[in-house]
Structure 1
Amino acid sequence: MPVRKAAHAGSWYTDSGPNLSRQLDFWLNQADLIHGPARAIIAPHAGYQYCGACGGHAYRQISPVVVRRIFILGPSHHVRLSGCALSSAQKYETPLYDLTVDRQVNADLEMTGQFEWMDMDTDENEHSIEMHLPYIAKVMEDYKSQFTILPILIGSLSPDKEACYGRILSTYLADPQNLFIISSDFCHWGHRFRYTYYDRSFGNIHQSIEGLDRMGMDIIENLNPTEFTNYLKKYGNTICGRHPIGVLLQAVQEILRNDQTQNASFKFLKYAQSSQCRNMNDSSVSYASGALVFE
C-alpha cells in the first residue's frame, strides 16, 4: 500500500504527536466559531511557527460531525503542471494518525480525462497539501475512521481551465458531507520573491502589503472569479494559491447558476504577516484564513 510520508514533520512542524496535538488544540481554542459550518476554507501552508495560529481560525469553522470527505487543493511549488494531479498514495502519514485517500473519487475524477497523477517524490517534496494534514487529523480525530481525503495538486491554470475544474468539482462542493480546503499563503514580498510593489499612500511597506492583500480578500469574499483574475493581472500579487482559489470561486459560481435557491457567503476571519516590512531589504509572507458557507 503506497504511503505518503510526513516529509516535513520535524522541520516545518513538530514530529511529536502529543506536542502537535496540544499545539493544534491551543490554536483552535484561540479561535471562535463565527462563520460555519464551513463547506470550504482558505488557510495558509507555511511553517506552523509562522502561520499555525492563523490557520486555526479557518479550521475552527469546520463541523466534523457532518464531514465525510475532504478535498485538499494545493498549489504546485516545485513541478510545473498545466492541469491538476491526483495522489497515487493510498494513505498519508501524520504524527497523529494516518489519513486514507478516497480511491473511488480519485477513479471518478480520472475518468473525466482532465487529471494526471503525481508521483510520490513530487508529492513528498510539496508542502502545500501536507501542512493541512495535521489540522485535518486533529479536527476529525473523533471521526478518524469515518472520512477520506482527496489531495489535488493544482498547476498553473488559465481562467478557462479554472472554470473547467470548477465545473467538475462543483458537484462535490454542493454535497454538505464534503469539505474543501484551499491551501494558500498571500503576498510574498521582498527581493527574494522578486516582488516589491509599494503604494506609499498606505504608509509603511507592511501596511501597503496588507492593503493589497485585503483588496484581493474583498474580491474573494464577493465570490467573483473574473474580478479576482483581473486583480492578479493588475497588481501581480504573489498569492501562491491563486489557482486553487480560482477553482473554488468557479465551483461556487457553477453551484449558484444551477440552483437559484442557494446562497453562498465567504468571510475572512484572520490576517497575519510573518514580519512587518519597513524597508526595501525586508521580506515577508502574508497569511489569511477564511470560510465559505452555503445558506
Structure 2
Amino acid sequence: MREVLKSKIEESFKRANAQKQNVKAAICPHAGYDYALETNSHVYASIDVENVKNIFILGPNHHIYNKGFLFPRVEKYETPFGFLQINKQIISDIIKSDTHNLYTNPLKKYFQDQHNLFLFSSDFCHYGPRFRFTNILQKYSDTFIFKQIENMDKDAVNIISHHDLTGEKKKKKERQ
C-alpha cells in the first residue's frame, strides 16, 4: 500500500512538470489524495526545498473544537517517502509565547525567517450541516450550490492574493 501511494505521488509530480521556485507559503486543498493529489502536486513540485529548514503545516480541525493551535505529540510523521522529524523546540517556543494574538504573534518570527516554509491546508468553504454552514438553501439544485461554493472559493483566492483581510470580513458578513 505504501509503495502504491508513493508511486502515485511520484507520477503526479512528474506530470506536474513544475519549475522549482523559492516559495514562502502555499495554500493547498486538504481533501484526500483521490480529490486533491493533482492540485497539490503542482504546488509541492514547484517548491525548491534546498534551503528550507522548517515546514509549518497549518489547517483546520474538523473533529475537535478548539480556539488555538493543536500540536502533534509524536516525534515524527511517517510518509510514503520516509519520516519527517517534528521540531519540538519550535512547538515549545510557540506554546510558551504570548498567545493574545494567536494567529499572528506566535508565528511571526518564524514567518520572517527565509528558511521556513508555511503550508496552509484549506478548502476555503465547507458547506453542510456537519460544518454548520447551510445558508445556501437546500431547495436549490446541486449545480446551483456547487456554483455558489465555487464563487466563495474564488472570493477567498481574490482576497488572499490581494492581501485584503477587510474584504474577507465583509464577504463573511454577507454570507451570514
> Where on the TM-score scale, by shorter chain, does this alignment land: which range?
0.7 to 0.9
Q: Give the one of 134, 154, 159 matched to 1:195.
A: 134
Q: Tell me whether 53-62 or 23-32 shows the greater mean CA deviation.
A: 23-32
- Residue 54 (str. 1) matches residue 45 (str. 2): no
CA shift, 1:34, in A, is 6.2
Task: State whether residues 20 and 47 of structure 2, in contact with CA within 8 Å, keep that contact through their aligned partners in structure 1.
Answer: no
Q: Given the alignment of the two structures, is residue 168 of structure 1 paired with residue 153 of structure 2, yes or no?
A: no
Q: Distance in 1 between matches of 2:65 and 2:175?
A: 23
Q: What is the SS of the residue equivalent to 2:8?
A: helix
Q: State TM-score, norm by structure 2.
A: 0.82
* Deviant stretches of 4+, over 6 Å: none
Is 1:215 equivalent to 2:155 in the alignment? Answer: yes
Instruction: Describe how 1:1-295 pairs up with structure 2 within 5 A.
Output: 16-33=1-18, 36-114=21-99, 164-189=102-127, 194-195=133-134, 197=136, 204-205=143-144, 206-235=146-175
State the Cα distance separating 1:108 from its structure 2 match. Answer: 1.2
**Matches of 2:170 and 2:6 in 1, distance apart?**
40
Amino acid of the structure 2 residue aligned with 1:67: V
* Separation in structure 2 between the aligned mates of residue 103 and residue 19 of structure 1, nearest angstrom: 31
Task: State the SS of the aligned residue for 2:103.
Answer: helix
Partners of 2:20 and 2:158 lie apart in 1 by 16
Residue deviations 1:89-108, cap 9 Å, x none? Answer: 11122233121110111121
TM value normalised by structure 1: 0.51
C-alpha spacing 1:74/1:191, structure 2 compared with 1 (3 Å): closer
- Report the structure, 1 or 2, having the larger strand content: 1
Rounded to whole Å, the distance in 2 between the matches of 1:37 and 1:167 is 24
Counterpart residue number, 2:140 = none
| 5+ residue gaps, structure 2 | 138-142
Q: Name which of structure 1's ranges 186-195 and 45-54 shifts more when overlaid on structure 2.
A: 186-195
d(CA) in 2 for partners of 1:108 and 1:225? 27
Percent sequence identity is 32
What root-mean-square deviation, in Å, do the aligned CA atoms of Structure 1 and Structure 2 show?
2.4
